[in-house]
Structure 1
Amino acid sequence: MSEASVIHDIGYQRYTGPRHGRGHVLAAIYGHGVRTAFGFGRTAKAKIFPWMVAGIALIVAIILAAVRSQTGLEVITYAQFADSVSWLIIFFVAIVAPELVSRDLHAGVLPLYFSRPLRSADYLAAKFAALVSAVWLLIGAPQVIMFLGAAFTTKDGVHGVWSELGRLLGGWAFGALWALVFASIALLIASLTGKRAFAAGGIVAVFLMTAPVVGVLASLPSRTAQELAGLASPMSLVTGVGTWLIPVKDPGIDIGRFGPVYAIEAVTLIAACLLLLLARYRKVASL
C-alpha cells in the first residue's frame, strides 16, 4: 500500500432494528396476495375484472334480498348461492391464481423469496390462504346482503334473526369449501407455467372439460353411476358435499347414499393438490 492510500469511512452500519422473522414475512405475502386478488395497489385495468365479478355477485344478492323482503319468498338458500355463482368463481380464480404465482415464476424472483427465513412451504401457505380468502369474500359478502334482507323482514323477531344467522354461518362454511377446492386446483395449474395467459386457459379448461363428463355418467342406466357422477367434476363434487351436509328440498345433484364419498374425495383432492404444489416448489427452490 502506498503512503498516499487512505481508507474512507462512508458510513455503512449494521442493521440494529427489529427482526420479525418468518411469521411477519408470511403475513406480508398473504396481505399482498389478497390485495393483488382485488387489484389494490395496481393499475385500474387490473381492478376491472375482479370487481366486475364481485359486482355481479353483489347485484344477484341484492335482487334476492329485495325479492325476499317484498314477498317473503326465499328463492335460493345461502348454500345454493355459491352454486349459482360457480361460473363466476371459475373465471375469478382463472385470473387471480396466475397473478399470485405465475408472475413470480416468470419474473424469476423465487430464489429471493426462498432465501432465509422464508421456506417454500411458507410461500405456498401464504399464497393459498390469500386465494382462499379472496374467493370466500367473493361468496360471503353477498351472503351478508341476503342475510340483512331476511333479518330485517322476519316476522319471528329475535328468534327468526338467530335462526337466519345459523343458516348464514352454514352458507359461509359451504363457501369456504368452494374456496378451498377451487383455490387448490387453480394454484396447482398456475404453478406449472410462468405465462399467465396459458395458466388462465388451463384453469378454465380443467373445469370446462370435467363438467360434460358428469352429464355423460349421469345418463347411464345404472343408479349407482348416476349418484357417483358428480365425483367427476370439482363443481358437482362440492355441490354434492353441500347436498349431503345441508339438505334442501330440490338438490342440484342426486348423490343418494354416497354423501361421505363426496366429502372424502373433496378432502383428498385438496390435500393432493397441496402436496403436488409443495413438490413443485421444492423442485423450483432447488434449481
Structure 2
Amino acid sequence: MSEAGVIHDIGYQRYEGPKLGRGALFGALYVHGIRAAFGLGRPAKSKIFPWLVAGIGLLIAVINAGVKAKANITLFTYYQFDETMAVLIVFFVAIIAPELVSRDLRAGVLPLYFSRPVRAFDYVAAKVVALVSAVWLLLGVPQLIMFLGAAFTTKTGMKGVWHEAGSLLPGWGYSVLWAVVFSSIALLIASATGKRAFAAGGIVALFVVTTPLVGVLSILPSDKARNLAGLASPETLVTGVSTWLRKNPRQGIDIGSFGPIYGIELVCLVAALLLLLLARYRKVASL
C-alpha cells in the first residue's frame, strides 16, 4: 500500500497590486531612516538623545528670540547657532549613523534588500538623505524660530522682515553644509562595522583627533600654515568655506586668501566620502 501525500490549501495568493518600483523603495528607506533618527516607532530610550538635542536647540532659539524681542540684542546669528551646536551634532551623527547602517550589517539583512529591485545606490542615497535631513532639521527648525521671533518684533515693518529673511536663507544653506559633511563622514565610518559602539566611537574619535590638530597648526609661525590650518578638521573646514563665501574675514576663521582651497577640499571630501560609501555597498551587494 503506497502512502499518498496531502496538499493543504493555506490560502496563498499571488500579489496582484501595483508594483511601485525603485522610487517607492527609496521613499520607504528614507522615511524609515528619518523615523529611526528620531526614535519614532522605537522604545522610549531610543528617543531620549535625539529629542534632547532637539530640545536644546529649540531652547537656544527661544532664548535668542526672547532677548531679541526684549532688549534688541542678538545672542546668536544663524551662522553662530550652527557653530554653537557643532559638538551636539557630532554626537548626534555618532549615535544615529550606526543606527541607520550598522544595525543592517549586524542583522545580515542587506542581502534581502539587494535581492529586490533596490540597488546599492538607492540604499546609500536613502541613508545619506535621511541623515542629512535629520541633522538639517535639528539646525533649521530652531533657526526658523529665531527668524519668527525677530520678524514679529521688528520695528521697521516688512523691510525688517525681508532683511531677516535675507539672513535666514544663507543660514539654512550653512546648515546644509554642516549636515552634508558630518553625515557623509559618519555614515562611511559606521558602514565599516556592524557593532554600533565601535562605529560611534570611531566617529567621535575622528572629530576629537582633528580638532587639536587645527590648534597645533594655527600656532605655527608661518602665515600660510595658520591660514590653511582649518583644512585639517571637518568643523573648521565648513567654517572656512562660510568665511570665504561671506567674504567677511572678521566672521569665522582666518583663511587669508585660501578660500577657494577650502571650497575645493569640501567638495572633494564629500564626493570622496560618498563614492567610498557607494563602493562599500556595491561590494556588499555583489556577495
Q: Under a length normalisation based on structure 1, what TM-score does the superposition of the two structures give?
A: 0.96
Structure 2 partner of 1:112: 112
Provide the C-alpha distance between the structure 1 equivalents of 2:35 and 2:173, rounded to a whole number of angstroms: 23
Q: What is the one-letter code of the residue matched to 2:188?
A: L
Quick check: 1:47 aligned with 2:50?
Answer: no
Change beyond 3 A, Cα 1:3–1:186: closer
Structure 1 partner of 2:148: 148
Provide the C-alpha distance between the structure 1 equivalents of 2:108 and 2:8, rounded to a whole number of angstroms: 36
For residues 76-111 of structure 1, what are the alpha-carbon distances to aligned partners after superposition, in whole Å with 9 as ceiling and x for unaligned? 211121011100100000000000000000000000
Q: What is the one-letter code of the residue matched to 2:106?
A: H
Equivalent runs, 1:71-220 vs 2, <5 Å: 71-220=71-220
Structure 2 partner of 1:69: 69
Change beyond 3 A, Cα 1:98–1:2: same
Q: What is the one-letter code of the residue matched to 2:176?
A: A
Change beyond 3 A, Cα 1:3–1:153: closer
Q: Under a length normalisation based on structure 2, what TM-score does the superposition of the two structures give?
A: 0.96
Give 4+ residue runs of structure 1 displaced > 3 Å after superposition. 1-11, 247-250
Provide the C-alpha distance between the structure 2 equivalents of 1:224 and 1:157, rounded to a whole number of angstroms: 46
Structure 1 partner of 2:25: 25
Structure 2 partner of 1:221: 221
Instruction: Give 1:61 shift.
Output: 1.2
For residues 190-244 of structure 1, what are the alpha-carbon distances to aligned partners after superposition, in whole Å with 9 as ceiling and x for unaligned? 0000000000000000001000110111001111111110000000000111111
Provide the C-alpha distance between the structure 1 equivalents of 2:286 and 2:179, rounded to a whole number of angstroms: 30
User: Structure 2: any 5+ residue segments left out of the alignment?
Assistant: none
Aligned-pair identity in percent equals: 68
Change beyond 3 A, Cα 1:46–1:8: closer
Q: What is the one-letter code of the residue matched to 1:93?
A: V
User: Structure 1: any 5+ residue segments left out of the alignment?
Assistant: none
For residues 136-171 of structure 1, what are the alpha-carbon distances to aligned partners after superposition, in whole Å with 9 as ceiling and x for unaligned? 000001101110111011121101101111211110
Change beyond 3 A, Cα 1:137–1:5: closer
